[in-house]
């Protein structure tokens, strides 16, 4: 695909946005792939031309062309490639506990953490769950997000997991947002299986995975491989089964300790390895060899007051693509602001502003396996755009608690920015 179409007259247009600077985010071009005083034309939900505003001006009055005169900046629609958006309840009480010195590990071991959200999710009605999820998704949409990944994992039994995945699928039908779903088969050990871990792992990796695959409700499979999660051997059982079914893989890897999860992600050729605060040097090299994307999650790092950041310099030097996500969840990253994650990634992890924006566009698309369709602005790709009242792309990472998004285009359909809902939790 090319960033510009040399002969715009050869392609029919139905909409065109004229006058903004365009950060195409195409690799190997100018910083941010920036084209100044440009225009972008679409037809049938796809980008058909990108080029100078002066050229587009000559066609804006043609019959059937809807012209939008804009200023500021256009970027690809942002992508949140790691969320836990579907759940019941919240964990504000645990936030208070952590402030009083109780560790995340202690809370989890005493029946809190993920298990408490499992209880709340099982008890909540579909409409209660969807009301909260819609509010969080609308916040993200208002900040330019047009594609989102949503994990299950708060069901911990088959019907509850299928329910979560189905609700996540349905969310994309009511919002200007594409949804990719992930079966998080190994998230936490249910209380009922406290004395029979092997049986739970066998169920999650066998008949439950079979049912999820047969229902067609999951685009990928994930697991939580860490000291308070599941071992490398247990995780490999699920991921190997997923590979045998042709399902792509993500992996929560080495967030709290180095258990070898990063190397496992590379071994199974995962699309992404997420968190990575304790990834080893060998783990980073293995990601570079496999082409796995490193998904960094500064919201969880901040909330848990972690002191060891992911090895960004090593990832950069090794050429590992770095993506960013909100990790929006009720316990360790209760935030639905992708723009705040850009700022945190720069201030806490040392990313450049271009790396941060790449992390929620091109590399986030790579992490979800959809780079051929979105993540950059190129002819032939899906017309997912975000419109901003800024000129310098660095401003998107610079602001804290600010939102300069003035609208999104999802599949060629323009959606004006609307205020975020008052309550999302």
Q: What is the pLDDT of residue 106?
A: 87
- Per-chain mean pLDDT for the chain: 94
> Which residue has better confidence, 111 or 32?
32
Task: State whether the Cα torsion 334-242-212-79 is positive or negative.
Answer: positive
Task: State whether the Cα torsion 338-302-345-264 is positive or negative.
Answer: negative
Interatomic CA distance for residues 293 and 321, integer angstroms = 5
pLDDT band at 395 (very low <50, low <70, confident <90, very high): very high
Interatomic CA distance for residues 380 and 344, integer angstroms = 33
pLDDT of residue 307 exceeding 50:
yes
| pLDDT, tens digit (0-9, with 9 covering 90-100), for 240-262 | 999 999 999 999 999 999 999 99
312 within 8 A of 349, measured Cβ to Cβ:
yes
Q: Tell me which residue has tokens 């499979």.
A: 221
Distances from the Cα of 399 to the Cα of 98, 355, 361, angstroms: 27, 16, 18
- For 425, half-sphere exposure in the C-beta direction (CA atoms, 13 angstrom radius) is 13
- Stretch 65-84: mean pLDDT: 97
53 within 8 A of 384, measured Cβ to Cβ:
no
What are the structure tokens assigned to 310, written together?
Answer: 């992911």
Backbone angles phi, psi at 186, to 5 degrees: -120, 95
pLDDT band at 420 (very low <50, low <70, confident <90, very high): low
What are the structure tokens assigned to 65, written together?
Answer: 């062309």
Q: What is the pLDDT of residue 345?
A: 98
- Stretch 178-207: mean pLDDT: 96
223 within 8 A of 235, measured Cβ to Cβ:
yes
Domains and CATH numbers, the chain: 8-76+376-416 (2.30.40.10), 78-367 (3.20.20.140)
Distances from the Cα of 136 to the Cα of 17, 129, 268, 328, 422, angstroms: 28, 11, 32, 9, 10
Task: State whether the Cα torsion 122-128-132-133 is positive or negative.
Answer: positive
| pLDDT, tens digit (0-9, with 9 covering 90-100), for 132-166 | 999 999 999 999 999 999 999 999 999 999 999 99
Phi-psi map region of 327: left, alpha, beta (phi>0 left; psi -120 to 50 alpha): left
Count CB atoms within 10 A of the CB of residue 170.
14
Burial of 401 per CB tally in 10 Å (0-12, 13-18, 19+): exposed
Interatomic CA distance for residues 379 and 384, integer angstroms = 12
Percent of the chain beyond pLDDT 70? 95
Q: What is the pTM of this model?
A: 0.95
| pLDDT, tens digit (0-9, with 9 covering 90-100), for 5-47 | 444 445 689 999 999 999 999 999 899 999 999 999 999 999 9
Percent of the chain beyond pLDDT 90? 86
407 within 8 A of 417, measured Cβ to Cβ:
yes
Distances from the Cα of 135 to the Cα of 89, 311, 387, angstroms: 13, 33, 21
């Amino acid at each position: 695909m090319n960033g510009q179409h040399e002969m715009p007259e050869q392609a029919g247009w139905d909409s065109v946005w004229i006058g903004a600077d365009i950060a195409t985010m195409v690799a190997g071009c100018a910083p941010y792939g920036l084209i100044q005083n440009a225009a972008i034309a679409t037809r049938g939900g796809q980008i058909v031309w990108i080029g100078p505003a002066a050229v587009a001006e000559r066609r804006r009055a043609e019959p059937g062309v809807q012209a939008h005169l804009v200023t500021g900046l256009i970027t690809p629609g942002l992508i949140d490639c790691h969320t836990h958006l579907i759940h019941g309840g919240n964990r504000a009480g645990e936030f208070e506990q952590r402030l009083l010195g109780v560790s995340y590990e202690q809370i989890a071991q005493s029946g809190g953490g993920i298990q408490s959200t499992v209880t709340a999710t099982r008890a909540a009605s579909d409409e209660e769950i969807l009301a909260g999820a819609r509010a969080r998704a609308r916040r993200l949409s208002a900040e330019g997000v047009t594609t989102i990944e949503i994990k299950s994992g708060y069901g911990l039994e088959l019907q509850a997991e299928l329910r979560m995945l189905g609700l996540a699928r349905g969310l994309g039908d009511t919002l200007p947002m594409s949804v990719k779903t992930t079966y998080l088969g190994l998230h936490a050990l249910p209380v009922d299986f406290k004395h029979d871990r092997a049986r739970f792992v066998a169920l999650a990796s066998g008949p439950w995975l079979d049912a999820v695959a047969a229902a067609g409700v999951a685009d990928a499979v994930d697991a939580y491989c860490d000291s308070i999660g599941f071992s490398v051997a247990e995780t490999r059982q699920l991921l190997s089964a997923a590979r045998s079914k042709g399902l792509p893989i993500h992996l929560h890897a080495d967030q709290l300790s180095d258990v070898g999860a990063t190397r496992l992600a590379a071994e199974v050729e995962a699309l992404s390895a997420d968190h990575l605060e304790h990834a080893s040097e060998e783990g980073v090299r293995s990601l570079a060899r496999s082409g796995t994307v490193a998904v960094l999650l500064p919201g969880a790092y901040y909330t848990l007051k972690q002191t060891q950041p992911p090895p960004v310099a090593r990832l950069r030097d090794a050429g590992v693509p770095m993506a960013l996500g909100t990790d929006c969840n009720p316990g360790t990253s209760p935030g639905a602001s992708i723009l705040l994650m850009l700022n945190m990634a720069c201030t806490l992890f040392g990313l450049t502003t271009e790396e941060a924006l790449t992390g929620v566009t091109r590399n986030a698309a790579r992490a979800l396996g959809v780079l051929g369709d979105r993540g950059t602005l190129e002819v032939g790709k899906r017309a997912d755009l975000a419109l901003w009242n800024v000129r310098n792309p660095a401003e998107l990472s610079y602001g804290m608690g600010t939102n300069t998004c003035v609208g999104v285009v999802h599949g060629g359909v323009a959606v004006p920015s609307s205020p975020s809902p008052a309550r999302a939790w």
